[in-house]
Amino acid sequence: MHTSDTAARAAQVLSRPFSLGGLTVPNRIAMAPMTREFSPGGVPGADVADYYARRAAGGVGLIITEGTYVDHAAAGTSGAVPRFHGEDALAGWEHVVRAVHAAGGTIMPQLWHVGMAREAGAPPFPDAPPSGPSGIALDGTPAGHAMTQRDLDDVIAAFAEAARTAERLGFDGVELHGAHGYLIDQFLWSGTNRRTDAYGGSRTARTRFAAEIVAAVREAVAPSFPVVFRMSQWKMNNYQARLADTPEELNEIVAPLSDAGVSAFHCSTRRYWLPEYEDSDLNLAGWVKKLSGRPTVTVGSVGLDNEFIGTFQGEQSGVTGVERLLDRMERDEFDLVAVGRALLGDPEWATKVFEGRTDELLPFDASMLRTLS
């Protein structure tokens, strides 16, 4: 699958260190955040630490953890997704950090609030109503609580406290989940944000809540501590949804976030090789880097021959090469690449790619989602 020339390119391009604030990532490969629901009671155990450390030992430079709930009653919708608050959960995360560092990797928690994606009555706090900018679900139906100013302030404070805690526990940065139709993205998207106050209306106004979270997080941590913002156009149940139909509209979102203190943007797409706008080959990460001047992370079906929708429909994902990825990285379209399902299928994916051993790469299928290995 790899010629010797391609193997040499992969080793040269992907193994370069990358500096982000005070962090040096040893290479250009990140593990994408993927919800696993293997943390009973919201507490990550030794198996979770082993799971992440195995990928770090397998060559991944930066681990971005699965989404972890900030300390707000309406933040979550599962009792098996890890929390980022409470002594028991934080002790578990401290063990995860030590294990990843011992394996030679760096690690950031992804801080998460699901907003209107919460199911009423679900754990970890069954009495908390689904909450969002306008109490509107992703399908446009009224389904929950429209957040008050006090609610907004509480959530902003929860993100800031989680970031402060992450730095204290020894994490190497934080990622804020602003993608896929969860709370922060619900404010960014006109489909769920119908507010008429300072947090709604224009695209820039809809970005205000996200920017205030970024600013609060930035203030809570050291100036050199990386703050990554994950964003997407698509939503969980609407793959055609868009925040911005033109680069100019996209800039109305990324400029305030950059000004607020984002260190890098993690730009989630379903297929990383597709152009985001007409008349340019740049993908979303490429456009965000061009507009913001900030480093970017690309993601979307790296190393596999189908996207995640096919996985959940029972299709097996075949292994593909990384030639197109290398082409884009050689021209600095983006700075890091996040790998998801390919790393679930093969914890040593990064090392095998570095060494040109792609004939040894293992495929991925949906059954792997049911185990933590």
Q: Is the pLDDT of residue 313 over 70?
A: no
Interhelix angle 247-260/284-292, nearest 10 degrees? 60
The DSSP secondary structure of 239-257, one letter per residue, reads: TT--S-SSHHHHHHHHHHH
199 is catalytic: no
Helices (H) and strands (E) counted in the chain, each on its own, are 13, 12
Tokens 């979303």 map to which residue?
A: 284
- Residue 112's CATH number: 3.20.20.70
Q: Is the pLDDT of residue 329 over 70?
A: yes
Please state, in angstroms and rounded to a whole number, the distance separating the CA atoms of residues 333 and 295.
Answer: 10
What is residue 304's predicted lDDT score, i.e. its pLDDT? Answer: 85
Domain count, the chain: 1
Candidates 278, 280, 176; CA nearest to 220 is: 176
What is residue 317's predicted lDDT score, i.e. its pLDDT? Answer: 60
What is residue 4's predicted lDDT score, i.e. its pLDDT? Answer: 67
Instruction: Check: CB of residue 54 under 8 Å from CB of residue 63.
Output: no
What is residue 303's predicted lDDT score, i.e. its pLDDT? Answer: 86
Non-local CB neighbours of 256 within 8 Å, separated by 6+ positions? 204, 207, 208, 210, 211
What is residue 3's predicted lDDT score, i.e. its pLDDT? Answer: 56
Instruction: Check: CB of residue 187 under 8 Å from CB of residue 206.
Output: yes
Q: pLDDT band for position 6 (50/70/90)?
A: confident
What is the average pLDDT across 73-77? 98
What is residue 373's predicted lDDT score, i.e. its pLDDT? Answer: 92
Strand partners, 319: 304
Query: Which entry of 52, 182, 199, 272 is annotated as an active-site residue?
Result: 182
Helix (H) or strand (E) holding 47: helix 46-57
What is the per-residue pLDDT across 185-208, written as a single tens digit (0 to 9) for each?
999 999 999 999 999 999 999 999
Q: Is the pLDDT of residue 307 over 60?
A: no
Q: pLDDT band for position 314 (50/70/90)?
A: low
Q: pLDDT band for position 275 (50/70/90)?
A: very high
pTM of the model: 0.96
Instruction: Check: CB of residue 370 under 8 Å from CB of residue 60.
Output: no
What is residue 358's predicted lDDT score, i.e. its pLDDT? Answer: 86
Q: pLDDT band for position 1 (50/70/90)?
A: very low
Helix (H) or strand (E) holding 19: strand 18-20
What is the per-residue pLDDT across 143-186, written as a single tens digit (0 to 9) for each?
999 999 999 999 999 999 999 999 999 999 999 999 999 999 99
What is residue 2's predicted lDDT score, i.e. its pLDDT? Answer: 47
Helix (H) or strand (E) holding 11: helix 4-14
Please state, in angstroms and rounded to a whole number, the distance separating the CA atoms of residues 9 and 222.
Answer: 36
Residue, of 316 and 10, whose pLDDT is higher? 10
Tokens 């699958």 map to which residue?
A: 1
Cα dihedral 269, 227, 159, 231, rounded to 10, equals: -20
Q: Is the pLDDT of residue 84 over 90?
A: yes
Please state, in angstroms and rounded to a whole number, the distance separating the CA atoms of residues 252 and 33.
Answer: 26
What is the average pLDDT across 104-128? 97
At position 13, the amino acid (one-letter code) is V
| pLDDT, averaged across the chain | 94
- Residues spanned by the domain of 250: 4-370
